[in-house]
Chains A and B, each alone.
Chain A
């Protein structure tokens, strides 16, 4: 016991002595690139294209932070993570931030030592089945075999949903979306469940996408967003406001095409955003043109959404529209 106390005291002393170390921003700047944790290929959110460059809605958040920090959205390296290993990778410091369709929950925010820095996609969990089964509602799924990715909130919602409806099911755990698509295609499970966006994305990778239907029930709230390690406020702010800048840019009508003209806009909010007025960049520890670079190189939120989700996967804006248009996107004002 005595040894344990000595050990603990020593640990505490070391903790105090190392608390004043350099922040993540300095580390990232010293490295010369941002290391961003993303999904194992999930088309629309994070997947390498034909030129082997990562693209997707989540990837664009990484690129926005890269543009804000370096003025160059391409200074980002990607670490594909499974749902199981994503948190360990971030905790261990192997990535600087995680932008990986991860649901913001209480325990992840509080207990795991993370800080969610916004929501880039409001999602909800749904079910996909083969049309030939003749199922039209999730309430008819009693006794089905369900494929689900392990270590996700999806897995917990699934258990809750079936329990609350008094239905039984067989769980078939899979590690990645790709593996899940394969097992579902083979027929090991009747139902695939994940966030609705993930279902549309997954459907595009199946052998017969047209034979699948997504059931109308959405059984959970899944606010997906980027997260960083708890405790580095400055880095958290950079991540949060890079995303907000994309959302605000859309709200103000600033796009990658017109951003240069907007520099001479009459609207003071636009001028603050683009760094022509005020010292927002300096307050974040970044260049004055940080948000200008984001919009110029990555585009605003709407552009990113259209490019990654609407054009290729036919996903509508839905609740992910701006608040003015009846959606949930609502960034705090830039002032």
Chain B
């Protein structure tokens, strides 16, 4: 079809077609797409043929079959061996999301702090941070995960646990803390929290409008903090402390009761956080350094307070540089969490993509679903960060 268009446009045939730039580019694009399509088709056909030939059954029916094995870490709901492989998928997904989200939070906070310290005029501090950054980001992540895991396994055994008032227990099988169990009337607390957050948001909008109109500035930050923290605490007291705790107790082989944070999770979380924080620190440092010192001087000349200079002048310009590389760090952290498989943390790759794959033998289906999950998570993070990026972008006039 492209050939016809080009021919009609030119009204000539044969040899001159090759010298037509538009035809040439269309031709080669079509060729590349065609080859790529043929390649995909070949892979699909080849797979289908081989599956057929080897008598391997296919389909997604296995998702409804009982898994038959147990998963040690399922913090959001109880998982039993009688649950299906479909449930394994959700447990794995939630475990992946949990370690990724907590990792992103911790790495961001630590990374920003390190990035700022890296610019400290204090020689000792900035050298220490420099060493930390260089060492951490140049040692392979897998080794760091294994290192943290062996450190945690080196903690005292169950019988020699480190115990603080018999409430917090630390041993090689994890950190066990009292588990809060809400009793009647506890619902008041989260309700108040939501009210406080919505209220703070409305107040800040109103304050902004007022400031635009009258120039009067209201203490938005302080009011928000006080209400978001204060209101739920007040509700908690009013409802008569509606919370009980289940304390850990040594029974037989292990501590029963309480909330147990397993070393597999902690090792993975630590390693991901510390590794990614080193990259984020460099990103933050370069972002801040990209804003010329003239900007600070100019805002001081206008009489802005140092905190305002940072918030209203430096940060908006630095963020423009920081956000895009930050996005890829978040994506990296999420994908790196799949190294969980090395220490047996049941994320989606270890549980669903590993054990379920092996017990059912449905390799193609399981890998396909697992890939789709990572693609979806990555696209969501990407979309959010792009949205945020367009919000903080400088509007150029």
Please determine whether B341 and A175 come into contact, CB atoms closer than 8 angstroms: yes
Please determine whether B68 and A160 come into contact, CB atoms closer than 8 angstroms: yes
Partner of A145, one of B48, B253, B346: B253
**Binding stretch for chain B, among A62-70, A165-173, A304-312:** A165-173
Closest residue to B262 on the A side, CB-wise? A170
Nearest CB in chain B: distance from A130 CB, A: 10
CB under 8 Å from chain A, chain B span 355-387: 355, 357-359, 361, 363
> Residue B258 at the A interface, CB < 8 A?
no
Q: Which of B154, B251, B358 neighbours the largest number of chain A CB atoms within 10 Å of its CB?
A: B358
> Residue A204 at the B interface, CB < 8 A?
no
Partner of B254, one of A108, A145, A229: A145
Partner of A19, one of B53, B157, B172, B354: B53
Please determine whether A231 and B53 come into contact, CB atoms closer than 8 angstroms: yes
Partner of A12, one of B52, B344, B350: B52
**Inside 8 A of B45's CB, which chain A residues have their CB?**
7, 10-11, 14
Please determine whether B256 and A186 come into contact, CB atoms closer than 8 angstroms: no
Mask for B257-283, Cβ within 8 A of A = 1, else 0? 000000100000000000000000000
Closest residue to A141 on the B side, CB-wise? B253
Please determine whether A187 and B153 come into contact, CB atoms closer than 8 angstroms: yes
> Residue A183 at the B interface, CB < 8 A?
yes
A7→B41 CA distance, assembly (Å)? 8
Nearest CB in chain A: distance from B351 CB, A: 9
Partner of A112, one of B53, B70, B72, B361: B361
Nearest CB in chain B: distance from A141 CB, A: 8
- A159 touching B56 in the complex, CB below 8 Å, given contacts A15-B48, A144-B254: no
Please determine whether A172 and B254 come into contact, CB atoms closer than 8 angstroms: no
> Residue A155 at the B interface, CB < 8 A?
yes
Q: Which of B41, B81, B154 neighbours the largest number of chain A CB atoms within 10 Å of its CB?
A: B81
> Residue A116 at the B interface, CB < 8 A?
no
CB under 8 Å from chain B, chain A span 165-211: 169-175, 183, 186-188, 190
**Binding stretch for chain B, among A38-46, A84-92, A268-276, A280-288:** A84-92
Mask for A140-156, Cβ within 8 A of B = 1, else 0? 01111100001110011
Number of interface residues of B (CB under 8 A): 44
Partner of A175, one of B71, B158, B344, B357: B344
A231→B359 CA distance, assembly (Å)? 22
- A159 touching B68 in the complex, CB below 8 Å, given contacts A91-B56, A111-B57: yes
A84→B41 CA distance, assembly (Å)? 29
Nearest CB in chain A: distance from B383 CB, A: 29
A7→B44 CA distance, assembly (Å)? 9
Please determine whether A230 and B172 come into contact, CB atoms closer than 8 angstroms: no
Q: State the total of A-B contacts with C-beta under 8 angstroms.
A: 128
Please determine whether A150 and B358 come into contact, CB atoms closer than 8 angstroms: yes
Partner of B55, one of A141, A145, A231: A231
**Inside 8 A of A159's CB, which chain B residues have their CB?**
68-70, 81
Please determine whether A172 and B52 come into contact, CB atoms closer than 8 angstroms: no
Partner of B361, one of A87, A158, A231: A87
**Inside 8 A of B55's CB, which chain A residues have their CB?**
113, 230-231
> Residue B19 at the A interface, CB < 8 A?
no
A187→B52 CA distance, assembly (Å)? 46
Please determine whether B157 and A144 come into contact, CB atoms closer than 8 angstroms: no
> Residue A51 at the B interface, CB < 8 A?
no
Q: Which of B49, B253, B355 neighbours the largest number of chain A CB atoms within 10 Å of its CB?
A: B253
> Residue A320 at the B interface, CB < 8 A?
no
A171→B71 CA distance, assembly (Å)? 7
> Residue A163 at the B interface, CB < 8 A?
yes
Nearest CB in chain B: distance from A60 CB, A: 26
> Residue A50 at the B interface, CB < 8 A?
no
**Inside 8 A of A231's CB, which chain B residues have their CB?**
53-55
Please determine whether B358 and A83 come into contact, CB atoms closer than 8 angstroms: yes
A18→B50 CA distance, assembly (Å)? 10
> Residue B252 at the A interface, CB < 8 A?
yes
Closest residue to B52 on the A side, CB-wise? A15
**Inside 8 A of B354's CB, which chain A residues have their CB?**
84, 150-151
> Residue B173 at the A interface, CB < 8 A?
yes
**Inside 8 A of A1's CB, which chain B residues have their CB?**
none
**Inside 8 A of A229's CB, which chain B residues have their CB?**
54
- A150 touching B355 in the complex, CB below 8 Å, given contacts A7-B45, A113-B55: yes
Nearest CB in chain B: distance from A179 CB, A: 9
Mask for A51-88, Cβ within 8 A of B = 1, else 0? 00000000000000000000000000000000110011
> Residue A8 at the B interface, CB < 8 A?
yes
**Inside 8 A of B153's CB, which chain A residues have their CB?**
183, 186-188
Partner of B350, one of A19, A143, A152, A173: A173
A10→B41 CA distance, assembly (Å)? 10
Nearest CB in chain B: distance from A172 CB, A: 6
Nearest CB in chain B: distance from A234 CB, A: 16
Closest residue to B53 on the A side, CB-wise? A15
Please determine whether B359 and A156 come into contact, CB atoms closer than 8 angstroms: yes
A174→B344 CA distance, assembly (Å)? 6
**Inside 8 A of B71's CB, which chain A residues have their CB?**
171
Partner of B49, one of A18, A91, A169: A18
**Inside 8 A of A30's CB, which chain B residues have their CB?**
none
> Residue A133 at the B interface, CB < 8 A?
yes
A153→B359 CA distance, assembly (Å)? 8
**Inside 8 A of A7's CB, which chain B residues have their CB?**
41, 44-45, 48
**Inside 8 A of A155's CB, which chain B residues have their CB?**
68-69, 355, 359
Mask for B146-172, Cβ within 8 A of A = 1, else 0? 000010011001100000000000001
**Inside 8 A of B357's CB, which chain A residues have their CB?**
84, 151
A18→B47 CA distance, assembly (Å)? 13
**Inside 8 A of B41's CB, which chain A residues have their CB?**
7
Q: Which 9 pairs from chain A and chain B are nearest by CB?
A: A151-B358, A159-B81, A11-B48, A112-B361, A113-B56, A144-B253, A113-B54, A173-B344, A186-B153
Q: A15-B53, A145-B173, A145-B253 are in contact. List 16 more A-B contacts (CB 8 A).
A: A7-B48, A15-B49, A111-B56, A112-B56, A113-B55, A113-B56, A113-B361, A144-B252, A144-B253, A151-B354, A156-B68, A156-B69, A158-B69, A170-B173, A171-B71, A188-B172
14 residue pairs A–B, Cβ–Cβ below 8 Å: A7-B44, A7-B45, A8-B48, A14-B48, A15-B52, A145-B254, A150-B358, A151-B355, A155-B69, A158-B69, A163-B81, A171-B70, A171-B71, A188-B153
